Structure 1
Amino acid sequence: MQTSRARPTVWIQAARPKTLGAAIAPVLVGTAMALEAGSLHLLSATCALISAILIQVGVNFHNDYHDYLKGTDTEERVGPERVTQAGLVDPETMRFATIAVFAVAVLAGLYLIWRGGWPILAIGIASILSALWYTGGRYSLAYMGAADLFVFVFFGPVAVGGTYYVQALSVSWEVLFAGAGPGLLAVAILLVNNIRDVEGDRNARKRTLVVRLGRRVGVYFYAICLLLAFGIPAILYAVTGAHPWAMVAMVALPLAIQPVRILQATTDPRKLNPLLGATGRLLVLWALLFSIGWNI
């Protein structure tokens, strides 16, 4: 077991801070839309944010643990270092930490369940079960190639709609449709990861969408996800005739061009690691601009 790094630093690394934008962005969008509707409820918004972040951290811990057990994370891994595989945290400690984080997420969500009732209870149970199913078990989502769909649903319409619902105690199709933006960009982050790791995943029999359909299709899907996400505000305006300023999110679309070009032209997995952070920043920027524009 390596001991050269302070324990807090190791756990921060295991939490994968660059991925947390995928948890924060939909809560921001749902809260901004509740604010515009006159239904802002700060305590509910805060609890939703805490629960979302903790569930994401729990997913990351669980992924770190199970990919080590299944042999997907090896010394040949080219992505960011995984603490269990690197010997910085022993497997049982990581397993306990995963359970603990999910337990705290449930505690943070108890108020939301009290306020929102059975729909929030259902969302909470489904979110945690999906998080555990992501890499756990013989037929896990990530290993069957079904993770992309679940990431879209739970980091998109479910997260945005749920955040809005615990504040307004109702939800509209516009809110759920707006959630497609963060959902598509969260899928784009996953695609970067899977395109980078396609050879290692294939060898480990991890049948991601990219492994099943090929690297080129994965790159096309990445570009389509970005394009569709930035088109969401325009579609909302075209259909409803309201909130034209939400289209300010589209000014960030040119920032997506370079990541697409790099992903298409670069086959060296190590050179793709920066695209994870770049795509995550696009997600957060989209959420910020959309949220501001929606309230103008």
Structure 2
Amino acid sequence: MATLAQWISGSRPRTLPMAAAPVVIGSAAAFGLDAFKPANAVLAALVAVLLQVGVNYANDYSDGIRGTDDNRVGPFRLTGSKAAEPAEVKRAAFLAFGAAMVFGLFLVVLSQTWWLLLVGAGCVAAAWGYTGGKNPYGYLGLGDVFVFVFFGLVATLGTTYTQAGTLSAASWVGAIGTGLIADALLMANNVRDIPTDRVSGKRTLAVRLGDSRARRAYVLMLGVAVLGSLVLVPWNPWMLVVLLLVPACLTPTWLMLGGKSGPRLIPVLAQTGFINLGYAGLFSLAIVLGVLL
């Protein structure tokens, strides 16, 4: 039986900044539209984090029963390590998805955005279909699309819309930026796993690109995300503060381009997650300062 510490580790807490960042940006964008609603923001954060936890457990279960994690180098896996029964991990995934749907329903009722119920159902279906089912799209190299759309565009724009009832240029730029950084985190994870994924038939985008090009893609994603915020400078000069994030990008960039592999790439995951939080914080700060000053 898995311990509480193992269940927490299996939820992959290092990936949770990927869920929090878009909510922070989306809420800041709502503030920029003079429509920030704290209760809606909290509900959006709960939905995002629970969906992320659900995705992590679902991936643990699906990859575990397929044998993909049998020789995996990286964070602890509940199913692959046999610390927990596959059925227990699957149950944990759906409990997280169910809790996310409950909080999502509260958010929809509070914001009166009933059409978002369909979006929420799509999020859960996409989260399970990433590595679950007969034809998981994560094994076809489409996982990066899922992450960008749902943990970038949908999470950020949905947060803004449930507070303001409309969107802004800042919400779009921020959604694209945080989505790209989330994709960079996934790319770093998949570069580390290229050897085992090839053997198991998991054709991630990193596997399709090959080691060298996948590493360069990671750097490109970070660069476009950080520098992309500059398009808003003519309307909000405070967006220049996002450039303070550049030094934080240097270490993971060096590790990726330096050819580090296996366990030596694990720190890149945490670093990229904190880069996403830093991006969210600085981008949001720029919006707030642009309104107040």
Aligned partner (choices 83, 86, 91) of residue 88 of structure 1? 83
Does structure 1 retain, via aligned residues, the 8 Å contact 2:174–2:229? yes
**CA distance in 2 between partners of 1:230 and 1:17 (Å):** 24
Structure 2, unpaired ranges of 5+: none
Separation in 2 of the partners of 1:178 and 1:116?
Answer: 24
Partner residue of 2:278? 285
Which residues of 2 match residues 50-89 of structure 1 at below 5 A?
50-74=46-70, 76-89=71-84
Residue 161 of structure 1: which of 135, 157, 170 is its match?
157
Match of residue 213 from structure 1:
209
Candidates 70, 91, 98, aligned match of 2:93: 98
Deviates more, 1:212-221 or 1:263-272: 263-272
Bigger drift between 114-123 and 175-184 goes to: 114-123
Task: Give, in angstroms, the shift of residue 234 of structure 1.
Answer: 0.3
Asked whether the equivalents of residues 157 and 177 of structure 1 are also in contact (C-alpha less than 8 Å), the reply is no
Matched-pair contact (CA < 8 Å) for 1:58–1:98: yes
Q: Which residue type is aligned with residue 89 of structure 1?
A: A
Partner of 1:260: 253
SS in 1 for 2:67: coil
Structure 1 residues 176 and 46, CA gap change in structure 2 (3 angstroms): same
Structure 1: 4+ residue segments shifted above 4 A: none
User: Deviations along 1:56-114, whole A, 9 cap, x unmatched?
Assistant: 0000000000000111001x221112011112211111111111111111111112222
Structure 2 residue matching 1:228: 3-state secondary structure: helix
Deviation per CA, 1:143-192, whole angstroms, max 9, x where unpaired?
A: 00001111111111211110000001112344123211100000000000
Residue 113 in structure 1 maps to residue 108 in structure 2: yes
- The alignment status of 1:269 with 2:265, answered yes or no, reads no
TM-score, L = length of structure 1: 0.94
**How many positions carry a matched residue from both structures?**
288
**1:189-268 maps to which residues of 2 (within 5 A)?**
189-237=185-233, 241-268=234-261
Q: Is the 8 A contact 1:246 1:291 kept in 2?
A: no
Tell me, in whole angstroms, the C-alpha distance in 2 between the residues paired with 1:294 and 1:35.
8
Q: For residues 5-59 of structure 1, what are the alpha-carbon distances to aligned partners after superposition, in whole Å with 9 as ceiling and x for unaligned?
A: xx32122111111000000000000011111221011111111000100000000
**TM-score w.r.t. structure 2 length?**
0.95
- Find the aligned partners of 1:116 and 1:71 in 2 and give their Cα distance: 44
Query: How far off its partner does 1:267 sit?
Result: 4.0
Counterpart residue type for residue 242 of structure 2: A
Query: Which among 141, 145, 152 is matched to residue 149 of structure 1?
Result: 145
Distance in 2 (CA, whole Å) between partners of 1:170 and 1:213 is 37
- Displacement, 1:220? 1.1
Amino acid in structure 2 at the alignment position of 1:18: R
CA distance in 1, matches of 2:76, 2:135: 25
Distance 1:170 1:267 in 2: 44
- Which has the higher mean CA deviation after the structures are superposed, 215-224 or 115-124? 115-124
Gaps of 5+ in 1: none
Residues 266 and 272, structure 1, Cα contact 8 Å, conserved in 2: no
Is the Cα–Cα contact under 8 Å of residues 12 and 75 in structure 2 kept in the other structure?
no
**RMSD in angstroms over aligned alpha carbons?**
1.3
